[in-house]
Structure 1
Amino acid sequence: MRKIMAVTGYKSYELNVRSANDQRLTYIKYALKQRIIAFIENGGEWIITSGQLGIELWACEIVDELKQDYDIKYAIIPPFNNQDKKWAEADQQLYQRLIHTADYYALLYKDDYKGPGQFTAKNQWLIEKSDCCLILVDDEYPGSVSYFLEQAKPYSEVNDYLIDYITSFDLNEVINEIQPNDLNS
């Protein structure tokens, strides 16, 4: 049984999502929520992320909401201190709110950013501390997610580690499923 799932994917700017009001965010969050609920209903207990912009923070937001109806927890383990230092103010506020409501929060490295090795270590930590991962990515254009995948794929070949994907095809399915319906109901 898989109890701990790492969630990652594109950063908001890689998806060109610049606002919490972006219509595409409705579909992305719906897809994430459905997969997270399925994970919970199959015995999942924890969602872990590094709290990066985009998919990771949105997943934490979703889990924070799902805690009202499900026994689920989330952890944010940033690769270094002050990772939100250069973010837009709205993103910083969301991050600060989520780290304060997280069930577990700890820095992987206590210092501020020192180099790209901190991201490599963060990916490895997330992979080794989870039973599976959920990644929103398009294989043709993986962006920064490619670094996580470069570590997760070889790990999954020698360990019982499931990599679950949300692809552009999955997002199109979500759009087709919910677009005809009233999104406010």
Structure 2
Amino acid sequence: MSNLIISGYRSFELGVFKEDDPKIAVIKKCLKDNLTNLIETGVEWILIGGQSGVEQWGAEVVNELKEDYPEIKLGVIFPFYEFGGNWNEINRMKLEKIKSSADFTDSTSHKPYENPNQLRAHQQFLLDHSDAALLVYDPEFEGKTKYLHEAIQRQATVKEYPCYLIDFDQLQNSVIEE
């Protein structure tokens, strides 16, 4: 396994609206623990789509882990051209910071958003160019990640495709351990 997708809930789905929300530290700790294990078993590239929330927090964790694992790479592959262009200034600046720290940045569609087919094509591109996924997602509490999780389950019927879930129980247990 060398290429891993990180995805999960958007910040608004978790009720996170400020950078100092304690939920972010818990999620990042779980991401770091899981990523460390996966990097030590061969993951080289971590791919995200740039969404706010778990994907961006995951990118921040990857950049922190580069200090101990300089061989890992971050790929940011947006679903369409000008992704995030209509976000508020603070969120656009955060996205720019992640883009500037990435080892590779591109978009699967080189046109601005036109229709949901671009999102489906993006999802399939990520699945075709990865070997596994790490999701902060609990199937009992659906969000937009439901669609990626379902696509991963379909992918796993065609080829071996591990999906590592960080669910709400794991997040809660992480809080209790501290």
Report TM bin, short chain: over 0.9
Q: Which runs of 5+ in 1 are unaligned?
A: 179-185
Aligned to 2:62: 63
Partner Cα separation in structure 2 for residue 85 and residue 166 of structure 1: 30
Shift of 1:65: 1.3
Shift of 1:138: 1.4
Q: Does 1:47 align with 2:19?
A: no
User: What secondary structure is seen at the aligned counterpart in 2 of 1:172?
Assistant: helix
Deviations 1:60-116 (A, max 9, x none): 111111111102111000001122122232221111011111000111111110111
The one-letter amino acid paired with 2:77 is I
Partner Cα separation in structure 2 for residue 149 and residue 66 of structure 1: 25
User: What secondary structure is seen at the aligned counterpart in 1 of 2:78?
Assistant: coil
Shift of 1:127: 0.9
Shift of 1:128: 1.1
Aligned to 2:169: 169
Q: Does 1:150 align with 2:150?
A: yes
User: What secondary structure is seen at the aligned counterpart in 2 of 1:19?
Assistant: coil
Partner Cα separation in structure 2 for residue 3 and residue 83 of structure 1: 26
**Percentage identity across paired residues of the two chains:** 32
User: What secondary structure is seen at the aligned counterpart in 2 of 1:87?
Assistant: coil
The one-letter amino acid paired with 1:66 is L
Aligned to 2:84: 84
The one-letter amino acid paired with 1:148 is L
Deviations 1:3-48 (A, max 9, x none): 1100110011111110110011110110111111111111110100
User: What TM-score, normalized to structure 2?
Assistant: 0.96
Aligned to 1:19: 18
Aligned to 1:97: 97
Deviations 1:119-155 (A, max 9, x none): 1111111111111000111111221011112211011
RMSD of aligned alpha carbons: 0.9
Aligned to 2:36: 37
Partner Cα separation in structure 1 for residue 118 and residue 54 of structure 2: 19
Partner Cα separation in structure 1 for residue 161 and residue 105 of structure 2: 24
Question: Greater shift after overlay, 80-89 or 166-175?
Answer: 80-89
Aligned to 1:3: 2
Question: Greater shift after overlay, 84-93 or 152-161?
Answer: 84-93
Partner Cα separation in structure 2 for residue 127 and residue 118 of structure 1: 14
Aligned to 1:137: 137
